Structure 1
């Protein structure tokens, strides 16, 4: 019998239609969680649901949403409260790369889009979902980050700056909820075979990179309420090498 350490847990996953978000949604569902999958494309959400149903015999809850829209996450928080009364797991995987260009050449539209998705949406997610996570006996929030925050390089200004803001916001919030039953953690997947990676490095052979499903067991591990979480960023490469992730 397949282990289900997350049986009866409610897990919200952003960016669930592809890449690491898709892998997280599948991994959490296979571990027994009921997945609330957020994504922009209805067809891709339905394809995810078909796969979850084939694997588990249960359906996900599908939420077509554009994180750039200002009120969608607020309305979703209210709807989840009415339907479930809580959430136990949050995985915020949605992000946009933005332009790879000199800082002085960044255009307003692309900057605003990256700011809305990578930073403002994180604030709205925290604001809307904190009460739901606190209603759980052990809320776990996992935010995907990037090594570009610690090692910014030329032409990466939009992505590095907006993700750095996201990291700062999550770290502040994690400190604020230290005495609650909720824990927040940053997860750095490093290089993975995703569409965003291909967009940033079009000449790279994707076969040389880990498949996003390889990180799913780590996400399941971090989502388990009976485990501690570290205060620093969890790196997939360290975990894969055998380093523990408990605090």
Structure 2
């Protein structure tokens, strides 16, 4: 049976031009949502829109921009308010890996870029979407994170792990602050998946041995279900059921 749990909902997806973000945007559209797809690649977003239209007969709203542009995030919030009046579901999948190298080997320029995209942009996004999600009867946010071995400190993964640990702390605090509202948030650690970022991090790995990003969609839709209370903590895709880790 087709999942239409997002029917009539307004959904924002970052990192939507490829990988997990693209799979999530397509899955949300198939579940009935009006998707607002964000990514740096205009061509990638147009390809996504073609796929969404072929599957649903509806077009997505495409917003090509760099998440490190905080003012652009604020402008996006204003446009969404004017056009749609609220946000119901938000999926934050955009992130950059940076260079896997010893902590003291990072160049300041590269260090600042990873912090800007992974941490500062997440804070700017939370700041921008909160007023829109307060206008929804059941706002839901899913933020993609990574495994505990990375966020707790793993050789060569220091910068990326530090950004994800910071993101987890920000999202948990934000969710706690909004506990008295209908807004709920979840952190999702998908495990190893067939993505470009994974291929860069593990160049010798056979990508066909990994799950396709589309396999995360059923769990994502469960976490975004407006009538359910999603877990407040990180959930792991490789577990049989969503549970805290």
TM-score normalised by length of structure 2: 0.96
Is the 1:229–1:245 contact (alpha carbons within 8 Å) kept by the matching residues of 2?
no
Task: Give the drift of 1:230.
Answer: 1.1
**Counterpart position of 1:212:** 213
> Quick check: 1:56 aligned with 2:56?
yes
What is the correspondence of 1:134-213 to structure 2 with a 5 Å cutoff? 134-147=134-147, 148-213=149-214
Task: Give the drift of 1:5.
Answer: 1.7
For 1:211 and 1:5, the matched residues in 2 are separated by: 22
For 1:115 and 1:150, the matched residues in 2 are separated by: 14
CA distance 1:218–1:87, change in 2 (3 Å):
same
**Counterpart position of 1:123:** 123
**Counterpart position of 2:65:** 65
For 2:150 and 2:177, the matched residues in 1 are separated by: 22
CA distance 1:245–1:28, change in 2 (3 Å):
farther
Name stretches of at least 5 consecutive residues in structure 1 with no aligned partner: none
3-state SS of 1:190 partner: coil
Structure 1 range deviating more: 225-234 or 84-93: 225-234
**Counterpart position of 1:11:** 11
3-state SS of 1:71 partner: helix
Task: Give the drift of 1:129.
Answer: 0.3
**Counterpart position of 1:88:** 88
**Counterpart position of 1:232:** 233
For 2:60 and 2:67, the matched residues in 1 are separated by: 19
> Quick check: 1:21 aligned with 2:21?
yes
CA distance 1:244–1:40, change in 2 (3 Å):
closer
CA distance 1:122–1:244, change in 2 (3 Å):
closer
| Number of matched pairs | 243
Is the 2:184–2:232 contact (alpha carbons within 8 Å) kept by the matching residues of 1?
no
TM-score normalised by length of structure 1: 0.95
